[in-house]
Structure 1
Amino acid sequence: MNNRKYGAQAPTEGSRIYAITVCVFASIGGIFFGYDQGVTGGVLVMNSFLEDFCVGYGGNTYSDCTSQSVALPSNWLSYTTLYNVLYYVGCIGGAFVGGIIADKFGRRMTIFAAGVFFCLGTCVLVLLSTGHHNISLIARFLQGLGVGNSSFSLPLFGAEMAPRELRGMLSGFMQMAVVTGILLVGVINYNISQIANGWRITNAIAMLFPIIVMLGIFFIPESPRWTYKAKGLAAAEYELQRLRKTQNVHDELERIVDAIDDEGRNKVYWSELWHPAIRPRLFIAMMLQLLQQATGINPVFVYGGQIFQDVVHDGLLSLLILQIVNFVSTIPAMYFVDRVGRRTLLLIGAVGMVFGHIVSATAFTFGCDGNTKEMNCSKVAGWIMIASTAIFIFNFAISWGPICWIYPAEIFPLRVRAKAVSVSTMTNWVIGAIMIGIPKLFPYLNINGVFFLFGGLCSLAGIYVYFKCPETMGVFLEDIEMLFRDSNPVVGGATTICSPPFVLE
C-alpha cells in the first residue's frame, strides 16, 4: 500500500474545548443507556417488583419468588426472560430505525428520537398497575427502541464531530456515560431496594438524562459531514465553523467535500453494504459487536445479582462492587484509546478477560459443591469469584467496552456510514438477546462451565482482532479508507498513513 502523506497546507485550527463540550453533552444520553441496562439486575431482586409482578402470578407465593435462581417458578423465569429479550428486540429495531433517521433527518434528530422512544416506554412502565405483565413487556420494547437508537447514534455523532486526535475518546465517551449510568443505578438500587415502589422510582429517574439531551440537542451544531451531503457546501462550512470556533476550516472542509464527492451523493441503498469494498469492513464491525457480547459482560450484570446472591448472600452489594469497577476502569480507557491505540487495547483486554473468567471457573470448581440447585460455595471461593469477575470487568472496560463502539463508527465511508453502523449495532443487540438465554445452559454446563465457555470466547475475540483489525488511531476519517484499500485491511502494526497534525491557536 502506498503511504498517503501531505505537504504544507493550511492547518485545521480552532478550539477543541467546544467540540469536546458538544460530544460530551450528546453523550449524556448514554447515561440512560447504561442506567437502563443496569437497572434490571437490581429490579429483578427488589421486593417491590416481586410483590407487583411475581407474588400471586399463577399462584406464586413470596417464598417461591425469593427462592434461589435455579428454583424460581417457571412462569416467573419465562416472564423475566421475555422482560429482557423484548428489550433487546426493541434495541435491534431502534438501531435499524436510527440508521434511517440519521441518513434522512440528521445525526441530532436520531439522538432526539432515542430520547422520545425511551421516555415513552419508561412512562408506560412506571405508571403500570400491579400485575399488567403484557403491557410491561410492551414498555420494555419501547425502552429498547430508545436505547438501541442511542447506542447507534452517539458513537456516530462523536466520530463525525471530534478532532481526529480526540476521536477515540469523544466517540467512545458514550461508554463512559454508559458505565456512569450503570454505577448510578447500582447506588440507587442499593439504597432504595427496601422502599415501597422502589422499582418504579429507580426506573423513573432514568428519564432525567434523555430529557436534558432532548432539550439541548438542537442548540449544538449538526454533523458537518451529514450537512454537506444533505444541504450543501455553505451549510456545512457554517456548521464546521460553529464546531471549531474559527473561520479557518478550509483544510478540514476540503477533505470532507473531496471524500463525499468521490463517494457520490445519490440515495444510499442497504445493498451497497455488500459492495466488495465495504463488505470486509462490515464483517469486521459486526464481528467486533458480536464478540463484545460473547465476552459475557451483559449476563454478568443482568444475572450477577441473582448468582452472587446465591454465592455470597448479598446480590446487590456484589453487583454494586462490579459496577464501581466498571466505572473506574473506563476512565483510563478514555485516555489510552488515543495514545495506545484501538488494536493494542483490544488485544490486552482479551488476555485479561480470559484470565478473569478462568479464575472464576476454577474457584467455583474447587470451592463449591458444583450443584446449580445447591451451590454451597465457601466464603473464600465466593469472594474469589467476585474478585476475578472484577478483573474480567476491568479488562473489558479498558478495551472491548468502548472500542467496539468507536471502531465501527470510524471505518466506513460517509456515504454508507449510518447504515453500516446501524447493522453492526443491530448485531450487538441480536447477540445480546441470545446471551440473555445463558442461564438455560447452567443445568448442562454448570456455573463453572459457563465461565469456561466465556473464557474460550474471549480467546477467539483476541485472535480475531490480531488477524483482522488494523489500527485507526490518529488517522482522519477520510483517510481511513486507505487502510482498507483493495478490501485488504492493513494489520500487524502501526498504520503507515500520516495525517497532518491538528494545530490549536
Structure 2
Amino acid sequence: MAVNGSAGEGIPAKLTGQVVVCSIIAAFGGLMFGYDIGISGGVTSMDVFLKRFFHSVYVKKNHAREDNYCKFDDQYLQLFTSSLYLAAVVSSFFASKCCKKRGRRITIRLAAVFFLVGVALNAAAMNLMMLIVGRILLGFGVGFGNQAVPLFISEIAPPKFRGGLNVCFQLFVTAGILFANIVNYFTSSHPYGWRISLGGAAVPALFLAIGSLMIVETPASLIERNHPERGLATLRKIRGVQDVQKEFEEIVATTELAKQIKHPFKNLMKRSSRPQLITSALLQIYQQFTGINVIMFYAPVLFQTMGFKSDASLLSAVVTGCINVVATLVAVFCVDRVGRRFLLIEAGIQMLIAQSITGVIIAKFLHATNVLPKTYSFVVLFLICFFVSGFAWSWGPLGWLIPSEIFPLETRTSGFFIAVSTNMICTFIIAQAFLTMLCRMRAGIFFFFSVWIVVMLIYAIVFIPETKGVPIDEMNEKVWKKHWFWKRYFMPKPDHYLNRKNKNGSMKKCSKLSKKKRK
C-alpha cells in the first residue's frame, strides 16, 4: 500500500520518536472507527434511548409478550447503525481523490472535522433525523480516516517496521470497540446515558483533530505533489539520519512511474489484475459474512435476546471486546512468523466450530418466549469469545493486510479503494439486515453464517497464496505467476480465444492474427 513498499534493504533508517508519535496520532482514526462500531449496539439496547427514538421497539421489548427473535426488528433502528457505513462508501471515493491532490495530513484533518460535527449532532439529537444525519457525518469521517490513515502510516514508517506500525490501526479499532463497550456499561442506567455514550466519541475525535495539526506530511505525498525539497527534508526528519538519498530516489522513481498511469481503474480491469482484484474483494465479503459485525454491532442486543439482563448483556460485550484486543495482539506477533494462510485456515475452522455449536444450542433451547437456561447462556458467551478470538488474529487484520500488499504499483491505490468500498458495502448490508434476518431465520442465522465460513475456508485453502516475506513489487513474479490456478491469468490467451467467431463472423481474420502471433 505504501508507495515505496518494497524498499528496505540497504536503506539507513531509525525508528524515530517522530514516526512513533505520528503513527499513534494517526491510528486514533482507527480508535474513532472502532468506537463507532461498538457504541451503536449498546445504545440501541438502552431503554431510555429506545423510548425516545424507537418507541415501538421499546414497547415490544418491555411491555409486549414478543417473540425473543423479533424484539428489535425495526428498519429505522437498523438504519441508525448502517447509515454510517453507506456514507463511508461514498466518502471513501472523495477521500482517495483528496489524498492524492491535497495530501494525507489534510485528509486526516477532514476526517476529524467530520467526526466532531457528527458527534455533536448525535449527542444533542432531539429527533431521529438529527440522529441519522449525525451518523452519516460520522460515516464521512470513517471514509476519510480509513482511506488516509493506513496509507499515512505505511509511508512514514521505516520499511522494516512498516508491518508492525500498520497493524496499530487495526489494534486501535479493537481498542475503540472495547472503549465503547465499557462506556455503554457505565452509562446504561443514567437518564442521559445514551447522550454520554454517543458524545464520548468526541474524545478520540478531539485527539485526532489536535494531533492532525502536529503530524508531518509524508515524503511520498510531498514529492507526488511536486514539493521534492520539502519531501527530502521531511524524510531526513522522520528517518533520523542525513543519508536518505537512496530512499528518496526510490520514492521519486516510483512516483514518476505512478504518474504515467492515467487510468488506474482501467488498468485494474486487465486480465493480469484479476487474481488480486478477485481475492481482495472476496476477502472483504468473507470478512463481513463470518458474522463478526453482528457481534460487534449488536452484542448487547444479541445477549438480551438470549436472556441476559441489560447490565449483564453490556458486561458480556465488554468481555468480548477484551478478547478482541488481546487476540489482535496475537496477530501482530504471529503473522510474519507462521504466515497468512495458516492463520486464515486455522481461524476458519475455529469460527466454524463456534458458529455451528452456538446455532445448535440456540435452536434447541431458545424458543419464542422463554429464556435460554443460564448454563447454556454462559456456554454461548464462551463460544462467542472463541469465535471473536479466531477472527481477531486472522480474517480481521489480514482482510486489510493482504489487499494492501498484493497489488502492483500501477493498480495499488485503485485496487485498495475497491477493497475498502466492498468492505463498507458488505458492512452496510449486514448492519441493515441482521435484526430482520434474526426475526425471520431465528437460530438459522448462525447456520447461514456457518455456510459462508465453509465457503471462505475452501477459498483460503485452494486459492489464497502465501505472501509472507515477499516484497510487494515482486508479488506477481513470486506469488501469482507460480500459483496453480492464478498463473493462467498471466499467460497469453490460447488460440481458441483468438479463433472464436466475432459478431461479423470474421473467422479468417482471427486465424490470420493467431498465425501471425505464433510466428
Q: Same fold (TM over 0.5)?
A: yes
Task: Name the counterpart of 1:362.
Answer: 360
Local SS of the residue matching 1:194: coil
Alpha-carbon distance in 2 for matches of 1:323, 1:119: 24
Task: Name the counterpart of 2:340.
Answer: 342
Cα deviation for residue 16 of structure 1 reads 5.2
1:332 aligns with 2:316: no
Task: Name the counterpart of 1:190.
Answer: 185
Task: Name the counterpart of 2:399.
Answer: 404
Amino acid aligned to 2:442: N
Amino acid aligned to 2:104: R
Deviations 1:279-315 (A, max 9, x none): 4322222111111111111111222212211324232
Alpha-carbon distance in 2 for matches of 1:252, 1:162: 12
2:42 and 2:298 in contact (8 A); partners too: no
Alpha-carbon distance in 2 for matches of 1:481, 1:259: 17
Give the counterpart of 2:251 among 252, 256, 276. 256
Task: Name the counterpart of 2:92.
Answer: 95
Alpha-carbon distance in 1 for matches of 2:317, 2:72: 23
2:105 and 2:217 in contact (8 A); partners too: yes
Alpha-carbon distance in 2 for matches of 1:82, 1:11: 49
Alpha-carbon distance in 1 for matches of 2:268, 2:354: 37
Task: Name the counterpart of 1:216.
Answer: 211
1:179 aligns with 2:174: yes
Local SS of the residue matching 2:212: helix
Cα deviation for residue 170 of structure 1 reads 1.7
Residues 420 and 347 of structure 1, relative CA distance in 2, 3 Å threshold: same
Within 5 A, what are the aligned runs for 1:273-352? 273-314=268-309, 315-352=313-350
Residues 417 and 178 of structure 1, relative CA distance in 2, 3 Å threshold: same
Task: Name the counterpart of 2:107.
Answer: 110
Cα deviation for residue 432 of structure 1 reads 0.9
Alpha-carbon distance in 2 for matches of 1:490, 1:26: 40
Residues 463 and 352 of structure 1, relative CA distance in 2, 3 Å threshold: same
Alpha-carbon distance in 2 for matches of 1:25, 1:140: 23
1:122 aligns with 2:119: yes
1:165 and 1:474 in contact (8 A); partners too: no
Amino acid aligned to 1:351: I
Deviations 1:82-121 (A, max 9, x none): 2122222112122222211111111222222211112111
Within 5 A, what are the aligned runs for 1:112-191? 112-129=109-126, 132-191=127-186
Q: TM-score normalised to the size of structure 2? A: 0.84
Alpha-carbon distance in 2 for matches of 1:9, 1:429: 36
Cα deviation for residue 138 of structure 1 reads 1.7
Task: Name the counterpart of 1:503.
Answer: none
Alpha-carbon distance in 2 for matches of 1:335, 1:9: 22
1:169 and 1:334 in contact (8 A); partners too: yes
Residues 443 and 185 of structure 1, relative CA distance in 2, 3 Å threshold: closer
1:158 and 1:170 in contact (8 A); partners too: yes
Residues 244 and 344 of structure 1, relative CA distance in 2, 3 Å threshold: farther
Cα deviation for residue 181 of structure 1 reads 0.8
1:471 and 1:491 in contact (8 A); partners too: no
Alpha-carbon distance in 2 for matches of 1:423, 1:415: 14
Local SS of the residue matching 2:394: helix
Query: Which structure has the larger Rg?
Result: 2
Deviations 1:339-380 (A, max 9, x none): 3333332222222211211221232244x04x3x22542222
Task: Name the counterpart of 1:26.
Answer: 26
Deviations 1:456-492 (A, max 9, x none): 2122223223333333334444444544666x76899
1:92 and 1:429 in contact (8 A); partners too: yes
Give the counterpart of 2:442 among 446, 459, 466. 446
Task: Name the counterpart of 1:497.
Answer: none
1:49 aligns with 2:58: no
Cα deviation for residue 61 of structure 1 reads 8.2
Task: Name the counterpart of 2:39.
Answer: 39
Shifted more, 204-213 versus 63-72: the winner is 63-72
Residues 442 and 216 of structure 1, relative CA distance in 2, 3 Å threshold: closer
2:47 and 2:58 in contact (8 A); partners too: no
Cα deviation for residue 183 of structure 1 reads 0.7
1:268 and 1:415 in contact (8 A); partners too: no
Residues 228 and 341 of structure 1, relative CA distance in 2, 3 Å threshold: farther
Amino acid aligned to 2:119: T
Mark the runs of 5 or more structure 1 residues left unpaired by the alignment.
1-5, 493-505
Alpha-carbon distance in 2 for matches of 1:33, 1:176: 11
Amino acid aligned to 1:122: V
Shifted more, 274-283 versus 83-92: the winner is 274-283
Task: Name the counterpart of 2:62.
Answer: 63
Mark the runs of 5 or more structure 2 residues left unpaired by the alignment.
1-5, 487-519
Calculate the aligned-residue CA RMSD, in Å. Answer: 2.9
Local SS of the residue matching 2:306: helix
Give the counterpart of 2:220 among 212, 221, 225. 225
Residues 330 and 61 of structure 1, relative CA distance in 2, 3 Å threshold: closer
1:83 aligns with 2:83: no
1:65 and 1:73 in contact (8 A); partners too: no
Amino acid aligned to 1:438: F
Amino acid aligned to 1:330: T
Alpha-carbon distance in 2 for matches of 1:325, 1:394: 6
Residues 84 and 299 of structure 1, relative CA distance in 2, 3 Å threshold: same
Amino acid aligned to 1:23: S
2:60 and 2:71 in contact (8 A); partners too: no
Residues 402 and 480 of structure 1, relative CA distance in 2, 3 Å threshold: same
Q: Alignment identity in percent?
A: 28
1:292 and 1:400 in contact (8 A); partners too: yes
Residues 357 and 164 of structure 1, relative CA distance in 2, 3 Å threshold: farther
Amino acid aligned to 2:32: F
Residues 172 and 416 of structure 1, relative CA distance in 2, 3 Å threshold: same
Alpha-carbon distance in 2 for matches of 1:185, 1:20: 25
Cα deviation for residue 198 of structure 1 reads 0.8
Task: Name the counterpart of 2:381.
Answer: 386
Alpha-carbon distance in 1 for matches of 2:54, 2:110: 33
2:35 and 2:176 in contact (8 A); partners too: yes
Alpha-carbon distance in 2 for matches of 1:405, 1:44: 28
Residues 61 and 397 of structure 1, relative CA distance in 2, 3 Å threshold: closer
Alpha-carbon distance in 1 for matches of 2:321, 2:448: 23
Amino acid aligned to 2:112: G
Count of equivalent residues: 476
Amino acid aligned to 1:115: A
Task: Name the counterpart of 1:15.
Answer: 15
Shifted more, 63-72 versus 241-250: the winner is 63-72
Amino acid aligned to 1:72: K
1:346 and 1:465 in contact (8 A); partners too: yes
Alpha-carbon distance in 2 for matches of 1:324, 1:476: 34
